[in-house]
Amino acid sequence: MASISRRKDAWKAMRHYWDDVNPALIDEAMCKGYAAQRNAGQATIRYELSQLSVALRWGKDAKLIKEAPSIWRPDAPDRIERHLTKEQFRKFLSEVKAPHAQLYMVLALATCARPTAILQLTWDRVDFERGLINLNRAGRVQTAKRRPTVPIADYAKQPLKEAYEARQSEYVIERGGKGIQNIKKAFLAASQRSAVHATPYTLRHTGAVWRAEDGIPMSELAQLMGHDDSRTTEKHYARYSPTYLRKAANAGSW
């Protein structure tokens, strides 16, 4: 639903510029002209032009237009990876009140999984005997956002067992006997009470940074996070490792 709402908002912003344009006339200059007049960030402009490209390709497939022109887009901006210190996390966690949200916090740090993977996790994929969690539900084809099978961290075992004994549904993260689709309200409330801003994705990054700081190899961290290429992991987290570029830096001594 959030994706549909975002697309609608994008079209509201784009409509005055693109509504009466002949698709055959769209070129790089026109796309850059849109970017120049659009009072928005680079990521927003890139998203809106991506939606234009999607719409044009759909129009071609539906035989409404002969060709879908290539759409220029600005480069993707560098992501700012926010993470919490351990002191900040403890302060934040102390203000998380709901049991389902508390369990989410533990699993988010223990697995470094994406929010949707945690919210869709069911008990049949938690193997207490082998100490493993399969984050990929049955029937889901692995995508670029891969969901790996990960070990259950020692600090997550007891909270998981207690939640399993008290379970009222098939979902690990449940409220009122039902799974939930969004955990953002719990994060917002805890952020306001603790004065520590955090989102569901903040904990994914936090768990990764802490592991890098502990010297976990990037190849292992990549597997935990579901990155197919460890270069992605290195790009965002290698600098937090205590050994990051130490040999290269020290080699310049005289």
Encode 58-73: b = buried (16+ Cβ within 10 Å), e = exposed.
eeeeeeebeebbebbb
pLDDT value of residue 81: 65
pLDDT value of residue 251: 86
Q: Apex CA 162: angle with CA 169 and CA 87, to 5°? A: 115
Whether 13 has a pLDDT exceeding 90, the answer reads yes
Stretch 165-193: mean pLDDT:
95
98 and 195 part of one domain: yes
Closest residue by Cα to residue 154 from 131, 134, 129, 171: 131
Closest residue by Cα to residue 83 from 244, 246, 239: 239
Looking at per-residue pLDDT, the higher value among 78 and 4 belongs to 4
14 and 56 part of one domain: yes
13 and 123 part of one domain: no
98 and 209 part of one domain: yes
pLDDT value of residue 76: 79
Stretch 159-166: mean pLDDT:
97
Whether 77 has a pLDDT exceeding 60, the answer reads yes
Number of structural domains found in the chain: 2
136 and 40 part of one domain: no
Is 248 among the domain residues? no
Is 168 among the domain residues? yes
Whether 148 has a pLDDT exceeding 90, the answer reads yes
pLDDT value of residue 5: 82
Whether 184 has a pLDDT exceeding 90, the answer reads yes
pLDDT in tens, 18-29: 999 999 999 999
- What percentage of the chain carries pLDDT values higher than 70? 97
Is 144 among the domain residues? yes
249 band by pLDDT with thresholds 50, 70 and 90: confident
- Cβ contacts of 71 within 8 Å, gap of 6 or more: 26, 31, 49, 50, 52, 53, 56
Query: What is the domain extent for residue 28?
Result: 7-61
120 and 174 part of one domain: yes
pLDDT value of residue 92: 97
The answer to whether 2 and 36 are in contact (CB under 8 A) is no
47 and 94 part of one domain: no
52 and 127 part of one domain: no
75 band by pLDDT with thresholds 50, 70 and 90: confident
193 and 130 part of one domain: yes
Whether 186 has a pLDDT exceeding 80, the answer reads yes
120 band by pLDDT with thresholds 50, 70 and 90: very high
Is 70 among the domain residues? no
Stretch 70-99: mean pLDDT:
90
Q: Apex CA 208: angle with CA 206 and CA 209, to 5°? A: 65
56 and 92 part of one domain: no
Stretch 115-128: mean pLDDT:
97
